[in-house]
Amino acid sequence: MAAPTLPLAPVWRRLAALLYDGFILLALSFCYGAAATLLETLTGLHKGDYQPMFASGWFSLGWVLTLVGFYYWFWRKSGQTIGMRTWRIKLTDGANIGAAPTRRQCLVRALIAPPLIALGGLAYWYSLFNHRRECLHDKISRTQVITVPKSA
């Protein structure tokens, strides 16, 4: 008996999940900023106006790694972020649909998706011209986002 094929998630559903995750990323960013401010204050590194995003490359790198880590951790743990779970979509290995993505796939996807999205949504525009409706970061990371059926 052949394994059932699960449909690829439509772009609108993926964008809705991204919006949900955006709220969590915003909260994570506030927590990261508060922790960095506290650390700078306690260590005496704070001098004058506090603008860590512009004055410190380390702060920016840590912030980006925090956001990338959010996606990597959720994708490795269950293939779903909180937004993806809400909209019933799941990240899977592109070669073995339904299987968990590999560490490498999660890392590649978490690192390349933000710049592709920031470039005017290039990752999602690509799906309009792809016959399988895959986004560009799906193709590069060799993953797929599928629609999860409703539970009984």
pLDDT for 2 equals 43
Instruction: Give the tens place of pLDDT for each residue, 54-84.
Output: 566 778 888 889 999 999 999 999 999 999 9
Taking the C-alpha atoms of residue 75 and residue 101, their distance in angstroms, rounded to an integer, is: 7
pLDDT for 55 equals 64
pLDDT for 29 equals 93
Query: Could you give the dihedral angle defined by the CA atoms of residues 103, 104, 107 and 111, in that order, rounded to the nearest 10 degrees?
Result: -170
Phi, psi of 92 (to 5 degrees): -135, 165
The angle subtended at Cα 145 by Cα 108 and Cα 89, nearest 5°, is 125
- Whether the Cβ atoms of residue 106 and residue 142 lie closer than 8 Å to each other: no
Taking the C-alpha atoms of residue 87 and residue 13, their distance in angstroms, rounded to an integer, is: 6
pLDDT for 121 equals 86
pLDDT for 60 equals 82
| Predicted confidence pLDDT, tens digits, the chain (152 residues) | 344 577 889 999 999 999 999 999 999 999 998 888 787 777 766 666 656 555 667 788 888 899 999 999 999 999 999 999 999 999 999 888 778 999 999 999 999 988 888 888 888 888 888 888 888 999 999 999 999 988 74
pLDDT for 114 equals 87
Q: Where are the alpha helices (DSSP H) in the chain?
A: 11-43, 52-55, 57-77, 82-86, 103-118, 122-129, 136-141
Taking the C-alpha atoms of residue 145 and residue 75, their distance in angstroms, rounded to an integer, is: 11
